[in-house]
């Protein structure tokens, strides 16, 4: 490999000699990928097709020792760093222009101790990798809803999905983590060791180090759950949402029901006359006994006059992948998100009006209900910013060509602005796009001051800044 001109933390360029790069390569079990490497374009590609960045060097790590060497290499020369796990982050923080990508995507090992209900998971594993191994024993970690998502980014941002109301956030099931800090040291963080770092990792994003292994407590789930979709005509959306809201007040922790409003895709259980028309979808999962789920979902399924009801027994791992076809990599994506304390009549009107003005057939508004076990953890216990029972609105603009950028992004921003009066101010950082750097302090709410102080302690130079960045500030 030739000399490299790499971007620095101070927005400059620094020449790195070929001998220095070769010395790094000699220390590695993994590989180095430069711009002339045959795998370069594949290695810099991520889920969000809007992101087209050209890193100067990709360090593809095979183990924790490789990560240590990569961090020391970048830190020693003050180089710009990004960290890639699953590469699924909406903001595209996995890749940087001209700097160094520390790529963890090959570190995918998942080890399950079924007797102890524990899992040790490397940061390159996707949710599909995790589910495949844990569900072999009828066990699960609460994770997200798209199986190509990486476990690392999901966890560090908090993590919620279909079984969160029963078992808590992903971070509520995290027992410990092995972390390479900004000074290139590998430490073990838990409630007993480096507890302040462990607190920050649970919701603080990638600000505090690179996790090389997660240890999770597992929960008994499946292998079958009661799950599926109930599809309503959009003309009934306001009435259905109000009844949905009321039904959630008595829903057991085992039951999660979210809403999606969009144009109907060509799903096999919908007649062709509905394809491309606006619909409201209730997506639900009951993670207890299937027979109990029939009773628990009865009220939600009795709302209105649905076009289709395809709720039934399903493998949990399969349900975890149900939305994958609508979220395949390569499309252009832009999200805007709010936390809502309630789904008020006024907010319902704003949401439904936005659906009447969808800019494209793949754009949607999804609203998740988070509470139950996740809402019974004290706010100060982890860095995650919102522990009250609440709704998470995600405005998901998705399209295929650059010509649609202005319309789709403008639609998402317009709805975000219209919903701001109904929002709490906090936000789920995994749903925040790259242009919301000024929102980070507000998003973390009362936890931000402690996060900034810990950032100053563990990463005073802000080496790990390609994220929803918490800037270092001494307490």
pLDDT of residue 379: 94
User: Containing H/E element for 76?
Assistant: helix 64-76
Full-model pTM: 0.96
Going by CATH, does the domain composed of 110-221 fall within 3.90.226.30?
A: no
Closest CA to 140 of 375, 297, 319: 319
Q: Quick one: CA dihedral 150, 152, 157, 158, positive or negative?
A: positive
Q: Does domain 4-103 have CATH number 3.50.50.60?
A: no
Pick the CATH number of 224-437 from 3.30.70.3270, 3.40.640.10, 3.40.462.20, 3.30.70.1900: 3.40.462.20
The CA-based angle 428-430-435, given to 5 degrees, is: 95
End-to-end CA distance of the chain: 44
Query: What does the CA dihedral 225, 231, 232, 238 come to, rounded to 10 degrees?
Result: 60
CA separation (Å) from 55 to 11, 29, 104? 14, 21, 15
CB 154 within 8 A of CB 216: no
φ/ψ of 256, rounded to 5, equals -125, 135
Q: Residue 3: what pLDDT?
A: 87
What pLDDT is stored for residue 412 in this prediction? 98
Parse the chain into domains and list their residue ranges: 4-103, 110-221, 224-437
157-197 per-position pLDDT tens digit: 999 999 999 999 999 999 999 999 999 999 999 999 999 99
Contact 284, 297 (CB under 8 A): yes
Q: Where are the alpha helices (DSSP H) in 363-404?
A: none
Please tell me the predicted confidence (pLDDT) of residue 475.
Answer: 77
Query: Which of 83-105 are b and which e, b meaning 16 or more Cβ less than 10 Å from the residue's Cβ?
Result: bbbbbbbbbbbbbbebbbbbbbb
User: Is residue 224 within 8 Å of residue 316, measured between CB atoms?
Assistant: yes
The two beta strands, 219-220 and 100-103, are unpaired
Q: What is the pLDDT of residue 474?
A: 86
Positions in the chain whose pLDDT score sits under 50: none
């Amino acid at each position: 490999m030739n000399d490299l001109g790499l971007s620095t933390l101070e927005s400059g360029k620094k020449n790195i000699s070929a001998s220095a790069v070769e010395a790094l390569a000699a220390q590695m079990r993994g590989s180095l990928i430069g711009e002339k490497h045959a795998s370069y374009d594949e290695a810099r590609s991520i889920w969000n097709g809007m992101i087209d960045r050209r890193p100067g060097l990709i360090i593809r790590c095979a183990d924790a020792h490789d990560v240590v060497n990569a961090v020391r290499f970048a830190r020693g020369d003050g180089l710009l760093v990004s960290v890639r796990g699953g590469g699924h982050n909406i903001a595209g923080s996995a890749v940087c222009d001209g700097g160094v990508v520390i790529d963890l995507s090959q570190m995918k090992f998942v080890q399950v101790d079924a007797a102890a209900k524990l899992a040790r998971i490397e940061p390159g594993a996707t949710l599909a990798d995790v589910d495949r191994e844990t569900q072999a024993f009828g066990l699960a970690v609460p994770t997200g809803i798209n199986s190509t998502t990486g476990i690392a980014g999901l966890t560090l941002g908090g993590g919620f999905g279909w079984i969160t109301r029963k078992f808590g956030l992903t971070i509520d099931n995290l027992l410990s983590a092995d972390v390479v800090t900004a000074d290139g040291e590998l430490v073990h963080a838990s409630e007993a060791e480096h507890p302040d770092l462990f607190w920050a990792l649970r919701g603080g994003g990638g600000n505090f180090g690179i996790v090389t292994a997660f240890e999770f407590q597992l929960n008994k789930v499946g292998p079958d759950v009661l799950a599926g979709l109930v599809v309503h005509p959009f003309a009934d959306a306001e009435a259905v949402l109000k009844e949905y809201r009321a039904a959630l007040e008595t829903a057991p922790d085992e039951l999660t029901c979210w809403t999606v409003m969009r144009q109907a895709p060509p799903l096999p259980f919908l007649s062709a006359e509905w394809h491309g028309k606006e619909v409201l979808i209730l997506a639900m999962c009951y993670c207890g006994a299937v027979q109990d789920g029939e009773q628990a979902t009865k009220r939600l399924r009795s709302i209105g006059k649905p076009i289709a009801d395809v709720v039934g027994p399903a493998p949990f791992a399969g349900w975890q992948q149900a939305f994958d076809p609508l979220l395949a990599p390569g499309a252009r994506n832009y999200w805007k998100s709010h936390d809502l304390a309630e789904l008020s009549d006024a907010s319902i009107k704003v949401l439904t009006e936005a659906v009447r003005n969808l800019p494209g057939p793949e754009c949607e508004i999804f609203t998740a209900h988070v509470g139950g076990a996740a809402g019974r953890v004290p706010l100060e216990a982890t860095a995650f910013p919102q522990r009250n029972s609440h709704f998470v609105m995600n405005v998901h603009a998705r399209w295929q060509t650059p010509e649609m950028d202005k319309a789709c992004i403008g639609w998402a921003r317009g709805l975000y602005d219209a919903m701001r009066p109904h929002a709490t101010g906090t936000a789920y950082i995994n749903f925040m796009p790259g242009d919301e750097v000024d929102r980070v302090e507000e998003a973390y709410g009362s936890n931000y001051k402690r996060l900034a102080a810990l950032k100053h302690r563990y990463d005073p130079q802000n080496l790990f800044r390609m994220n929803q960045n918490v800037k270092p500030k001494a307490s």
